[in-house]
Structure formats: C-alpha cells, structure tokens
Amino acid sequence: MADEAEVEQPAVPAGEGAQTPALSKSARKKLQKQERQAERKAARKAAEKERRRADVERRRREWEEALAAAPSDEARAEMVAARRETRRERVGRRAEERGARAERLRRAAEGAGQKVVLDLEFADLMRPNEIHSLTQQIMYCYAVNGRSANPAHLWLTGCSGEMATHLQRIPGYDKWNIEKAAKPYLEAFEDRKGNLVYLTADAETVLDDLDMSKIYIIGGLVDRNRWKGITLKKAAEQGIQSAKLPIGNYLKMSSSQVLTVNQVFEIMLKFVETRDWKTAFFHVIPQRKRGEAEAGDDEAKVSLDDNGDAAEGTPNGDLSEEDLKKVFDGELDDGGDKELEDEETDMSNKRQCVRREDAGAGDQDHPGAVAEATPAGVEATAQAEQAKESNDGGED
C-alpha cells in the first residue's frame, strides 16, 4: 500500500539493565527531519494564532475608535444599525449557501453522485495521533464535498470503536449530510459486491475513468509506512476489484509519493468536474511533491495513507487551524438567529454607554470618562464578532 521506503525502527525505551537499540544513519536522518517539521509546524501554528489575535484586537480597536469619533448619538445608532444589517445579510447568505449545499448533497445521495467509501476498519492498526490525523482528513473530505458543484455520495463504513469516538468529538458531526455505518462496507453493500473497487497503489489495474455504477473505496489508514500492501491484500482476500489512480501517466513525483485520504478524494471530485486526470492531479497534489508532466509509462506509486510530511498551505497530514477554518466556513450551524438576538442586547448596552459618555463629557474632573465608557459598551460585541469570524466552523 505504501511506497518502498525504509521503515523507521523506533527506539524502545530502555529499562533497567536494557540498552536502547541504536538507530541506523537513515533512521536518524528521518527522525531529525520529522523533528524539524514538527518544530516548523508548531512555529507556524503559533504565528498564525498570534496573527489572528492581533487582527481581532485591531478590528475591535478600530470599531471602538469609530464609535467614539461619531458626532452624535444618532450617528452612533446609525453605525450600530448598519453593522447589525451587514451581519444579518451575512447570516442570510450563509443560510442560503447551507440550503444549496444540502440540496446538492441530497441529489448526490439519490443517485447523481459518484459513490465513494472511506474504509475506517483500520483503527486498531493506528496510534492515537494517527487516528487524529485521519479524523482531520475526513473533516476535510466532508467539507470539500459540500462545496463541490458535483459532490460525491460519501460513505463512512466500519465507523465504530475508537474511530467513532474521535468523529463524535467533531462539532456538528451528528448533523453531517453523509452516510455513516458501523458495519463494514461488505455488509453495507452486500448486494453490490461486484461493483466494489478498492483504490490502492499496489493494484495492477490503472483507472482510465470513473464509472458511476462502481463504488470506490479509499482506505482510511494513516500508518507512516508500517502496513505495506495491506489494502491490496484485503481486497484480494475479500474477492473484490482493486485499481490505482493513473498518476504515473501524468506526473513524475519529485519527493514523497504518498497521498492523504483527502487528497485522493479531492482528486476524484476534481476529475468528476473536469473529466481530466492531469487537471485533477495538478489541482490537488502539492507542487513540492510533483515533477513535470510525464508522457511516458513511468509509474509513480501512490498510497492512500499519510506519511506525516505536512505541507504548508495544503491539507496534508494534520490540518492547520487556518485550513480547518477555511474548509468548514459555514459548514456548521453558525447560530445566526442567536447572533441577531445578541445584537438587540448589545444595542441596549451601547445606549447605556452613550448616556455614560454624555455624562462624562460634562465632568471636567474626569476627562477620561468618554474613553472608558465607549469600550465598555462595545467590547463584548466586537470580541464576540471577531472570535466568530476567526473560529466559525473551525476547530482549534
């Protein structure tokens, strides 16, 4: 299933009288690379968090300054009303988008969408951090499917145990417009076993096209190359078809030749949209992983698992907070009605602040009354709005 890369032999913690096995030179280099990647990822995450915090603070400050500079109570009231109307329109647009997305997904489930299954029966072979990575990849699959003009009919099968526990922690997971089954795909599609096709890099058959009558299975396994060939073996033992994407016909992979679950799924969505494999590959595969287009028969082996080599700006490995914010923007119920109700409460607070401001302006012994009163009336609204805009539908 995975590439023919050297498998890292992790060091076993030494006990009393025991010696830690020495790592090979290749294993040490790989470990050092992973540590550098983890450090860069942590630094990017911290920098992004600080950037968003500073952006929230800047916009809050600008709003407060704009209110304080308003020439009259009426002007302030107009500013607040305009802000509320803008938010109302945004909530309305999101409601329309959710409705359109639900309709597309409904049509896909009724037969218009390509059937794709994420096989989640490998949880017992993964470490906790790998299950976490897979959970994030599933989140991305669901989000990108909802945004697609031609979404797939997406299934999660074998969704039980530890895997189900992780998925249940996703905000709004119970409302996902998706097929979920605790049973294996063989049971879920027992009357259509002949239409099942397991996508695996080790298959001999190369896909030329996607067949709407077929049900394509993507192995949900994040294993860092520990379980080579497991999906092909599984398909063979179950007597179902297997195939691989025709990536070798179009690309010569320049570095790691491993694709994540969400990348494979997005490639399939893009192909359904364009009917062009090259366009789909170039749209999804990070530039750092691909070389020039290939016209020859060289085959770049592609797996469906994650090698942990997270690319900045791409949904590979653990998704960044910004990735999740982007893909889940509007996916979950954003509480728009509650947000508008809160605006009414905020209006009362603002009127109280205006009265305090007017009283403070006449007190020569307290020249700072205006500056203190204005933030007190708008800070809660500004912070709530900016936190909403930064975190709506995302996960920290």
DSSP notation for 3-54: -SPPPP-PPPPP-TT--PPPPPHHHHHHHHHHHHHHHHHHHHHHHHHHHHHH
Each residue of 75-98: pLDDT tens digit?
Answer: 989 999 999 999 999 999 999 998
Residue 41 pLDDT exceeds 80: yes
- With contact defined as beta carbons under 8 Å apart, do 26 and 281 qualify? no
* Residue 21, pLDDT score: 66
- 227 is written with which tokens? 């379980």
Among 103-117, 252-266, 306-320, name the most confident range. Answer: 103-117
- With contact defined as beta carbons under 8 Å apart, do 339 and 345 qualify? no
Mean pLDDT over 31-39 rounds to 88
* Residue 119, pLDDT score: 97
- With contact defined as beta carbons under 8 Å apart, do 171 and 325 qualify? no
**DSSP class per residue in 298-314:** -----BSS--S-PPTTS
Spell out the CATH class of 111-291.
alpha beta
- Chain-centroid distance, C-alpha 11: 32
Residue 387 pLDDT exceeds 80: no
How far apart are alpha carbons 291 and 250 in whole angstroms?
Answer: 10
* Residue 259, pLDDT score: 85
How far apart are alpha carbons 159 and 118 in whole angstroms?
Answer: 9
Tokens 């309305």 correspond to 92
* Residue 92, pLDDT score: 93
Residue 27 pLDDT exceeds 90: no
- 118 is written with which tokens? 């994420």
Out of 91-100, 229-238, 273-282, 287-296, which region has the weakest mean confidence (pLDDT)?
A: 287-296
* Residue 248, pLDDT score: 85
* Residue 226, pLDDT score: 80
Ramachandran quadrant class, 121 (left: phi over 0; alpha: psi -120 to 50; beta: rest): alpha
Q: Count the alpha carbons within 13 Å of 53 in the hemisphere toward its beta carbon.
A: 6
* Residue 329, pLDDT score: 52
- With contact defined as beta carbons under 8 Å apart, do 192 and 173 qualify? no
How far apart are alpha carbons 163 and 391 in whole angstroms?
Answer: 25
- With contact defined as beta carbons under 8 Å apart, do 196 and 240 qualify? yes
3-state DSSP assignment of residue 196: strand
Per-domain boundaries in the chain: 111-291
Phi, psi torsion values for 246, nearest 5 degrees: -85, 45
3-state DSSP assignment of residue 117: strand
Q: How confident is the model at residue 28 (pLDDT cuts 50, 70, 90)?
A: confident
The average confidence (pLDDT) of the chain is: 76
**DSSP class per residue in 198-247:** EE-TT-S-B-SS--TT-EEEEE----TTSSTTHHHHHHHHHT-EEEB--G
* Residue 286, pLDDT score: 83
SS3 content of the chain, % helix, strand, coil (to 5): 55, 10, 35
How far apart are alpha carbons 270 and 283 in whole angstroms?
Answer: 8
How far apart are alpha carbons 49 and 43 in whole angstroms?
Answer: 10
Top-confidence residue, 252 or 15: 252
Top-confidence residue, 2 or 272: 272
CA–CA distance from 331 to each of 258, 267, 323, 363 (Å)? 28, 21, 13, 50
Largest CA distance in the chain: 88
* Residue 378, pLDDT score: 38
Active site residue 306: no
β 290-293/251-253 pair status: antiparallel
How far apart are alpha carbons 139 and 118 in whole angstroms?
Answer: 12
Mean pLDDT over 175-186 rounds to 94
How far apart are alpha carbons 259 and 87 in whole angstroms?
Answer: 39
Out of 171-180, 223-232, 356-365, which region has the weakest mean confidence (pLDDT)?
A: 356-365
Q: Which of 3, 119, 223, 346 is catalytic?
A: 223
Residue 137 pLDDT exceeds 70: yes
Query: Global pTM?
Result: 0.65
